[in-house]
């Protein structure tokens, strides 16, 4: 589940929505209540007026029907001098009706007595105008209540989420390598306190894990380097004996190179276990490092007819751990040398990038997106599947990018971008 709004906004919105809904429900209830009450009042007034007129008519047959700005009365049969009722309502049955005559809304009461019909019309325009004004007042009331609810909700939300913000501030300053202390004791036994306890437990586990990793890196640094150094030293001593057969010397050279590669790899892995801004960063002469790596790995070509060229358009120096840079360059060169049977391996260096272009076996299109995955091995791969995954991890460490372009059977182009675009 993904939330794109802040907690404060969501809490305030909920309060404002509830306030707006309550105000709207109140306004709707008031409107219909007032309208219904007004209509009943008009109906009772009409009933009282027509009953009064019928009583006056019974006492004085010459009594004229009402004729005011709000109330008009008619009788049938009409007496001389009395107006006739509108033709539209003459045939209506007794009771209460609504009509619209000559642009005016009327509420009509009709009664019958002794063979005569009596009509009483009440002008509702003023009542309808009041209803329209009431709608405006209620709409303004709803808008004002929504604004007040929103403002109050923002103020209240700020105080409601203050413990959460304080917890976030406390957690933010805790590094992954340090224990947070008693983080939860400053918060109550509520949801925020439960969250604080969960953070405290998680951060403690994370700090313990970092401590174990550091201890492991220190142990490996001592326990692994010592036997590797012994292997390399023994190989160098044995190679110094020129009386040894050539086949033995080739085997010893392979042992020495394997030990050297193991030393470099262990150094790189230990460097990767350190913090990103470690103290081992130095200015690395990239051109010299590439030439050294080419000389070191040319034995992989054997007697194959492969031409290796290095073109330096610039001689950049980059700030990084030299061992990690060597691992990246060595992996790119090792892959090209290993999988190129004939043709060329062209290495080109400029101010912002390093390209290694070969005419080797190439990489199938469906495998290009997988070669940087840890332990992925292609159809022709003889390695463990961690070389390019390690290269990608080192590039991510320094903010570099690594790109592969390849066509099966036509070769591969690997581009390392360490600066610029």
180 and 90 both lie in a single domain: no
Q: What is the mean pLDDT of residues 23-29?
A: 86
Average the pLDDT over 285-302 and give the result.
Answer: 89
Of 131, 156, 181, the residue that ends a domain is: 156
Same domain, 152 and 181: no
- The DSSP code sequence of 94-126 is SEEEEEEETTEEEEEEEEEETTEEEEEEEE-HH
Last residue of a domain, one of 223, 242, 262: 223
Q: Quick check: helix, strand or coil at residue 179?
A: coil
149 and 207 in a common domain: no
pLDDT given at position 421: 39
The range of the structural domain enclosing residue 170 comes to 162-223
Same domain, 106 and 214: no
Asked if the model's pLDDT at residue 349 lies above 90, the reply is yes
Rounded to whole angstroms, the Cα distance separating 403 from 416 reads 7
The reply to whether 121 and 29 lie within a common domain is yes
Residues 321 and 397 in one domain: yes
Regarding whether 18 and 123 lie in a shared domain, the answer is yes
Residue 398 has pLDDT above 60, yes or no: yes
For residue 274, pLDDT over 70 is answered with no
142-154 pLDDT, tens digit per residue, is 888 878 877 887 7
Q: Are residues 184 and 139 in the same domain?
A: no
> What is the tally of helices (H) and strands (E) in the chain?
9, 11
CATH at residue 131: 3.30.450
Q: Is residue 209 part of a domain?
A: yes
Is 358 a domain residue?
yes
Element (H, E) at 282: strand 282-285
Q: Is pLDDT of 361 > 70? A: yes
Which pLDDT does position 291 carry in this prediction? 93
- Indicate whether 86 and 199 sit together in one domain: no
Final residue belonging to a domain, choices 200, 223, 246:
223
Q: What is the mean pLDDT of residues 156-168?
A: 74
pLDDT tens figures, 371-388: 887 766 655 554 444 578
215 and 306: one domain? no
Q: How many domains does the chain have?
A: 3
245-255 pLDDT, tens per residue? 888 878 888 88
Q: What is the pTM of this model?
A: 0.50
Q: 57-66, 121-130, 214-223 — which one is most confidently predicted on average?
A: 121-130
Residues 151 and 167 in one domain: no
With cut-offs at 50, 70 and 90, classify the pLDDT of residue 347.
Answer: very high
Average pLDDT, the chain: 81
């Amino acid at each position: 589940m993904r939330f794109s709004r802040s907690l404060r906004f969501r809490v305030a919105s909920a309060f404002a929505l509830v306030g707006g809904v309550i105000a709207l429900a109140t306004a709707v209830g008031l409107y219909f209540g007032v309208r219904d009450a007004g209509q009943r009042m008009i109906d009772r007034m009409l009933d009282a007026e027509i009953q009064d007129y019928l009583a006056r008519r019974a006492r004085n047959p010459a009594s004229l029907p009402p004729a005011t700005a709000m109330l008009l009365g008619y009788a049938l049969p009409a007496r001389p001098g009395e107006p006739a009722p509108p033709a539209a309502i003459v045939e209506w049955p007794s009771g209460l009706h609504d009509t619209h005559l000559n642009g005016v809304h009327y509420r009509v009461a009709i009664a019958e007595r002794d063979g005569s019909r009596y009509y009483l019309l009440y002008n509702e325009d003023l009542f309808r105008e009041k209803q329209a004004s009431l709608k405006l007042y209620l709409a303004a009331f709803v808008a004002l209540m929504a604004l007040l609810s929103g403002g109050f909700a923002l103020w209240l939300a700020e105080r409601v989420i203050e413990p959460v913000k304080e917890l976030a501030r406390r957690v933010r300053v805790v590094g992954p390598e340090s224990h947070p202390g008693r983080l939860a004791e400053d918060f109550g036994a509520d949801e925020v306190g439960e969250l604080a306890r969960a953070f405290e437990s998680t951060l403690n586990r994370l700090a313990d894990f970092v401590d174990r990793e550091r201890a492991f890196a220190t142990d490996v640094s001592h326990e692994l380097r010592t036997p590797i150094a012994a292997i390399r030293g023994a190989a160098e001593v044995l190679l110094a004996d020129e009386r040894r057969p050539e086949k033995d010397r080739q085997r010893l050279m392979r042992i020495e190179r394997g030990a050297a590669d193991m030393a470099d790899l262990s150094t790189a892995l230990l460097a990767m276990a350190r913090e990103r801004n470690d103290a081992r960063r130095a200015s690395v002469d990239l051109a010299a490092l590439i030439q050294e790596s080419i000389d070191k790995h040319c034995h992989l070509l054997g007697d194959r007819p492969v031409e290796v060229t290095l073109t330096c358009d610039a001689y950049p120096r980059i700030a990084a751990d030299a061992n990690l840079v060597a691992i990246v360059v060595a992996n790119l060169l090792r892959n090209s040398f290993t999988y190129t049977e004939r043709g060329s391996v062209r290495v080109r260096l400029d101010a912002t990038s390093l390209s290694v272009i070969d005419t080797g076996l190439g990489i199938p299109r469906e495998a290009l997106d997988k070669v940087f995955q840890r332990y992925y091995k292609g159809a022709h791969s003889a390695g463990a599947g961690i070389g390019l995954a390690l290269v990608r991890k080192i590039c991510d460490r320094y903010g570099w990018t690594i790109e592969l372009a390849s066509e099966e059977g036509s070769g591969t182009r690997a581009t390392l971008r360490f600066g610029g675009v």
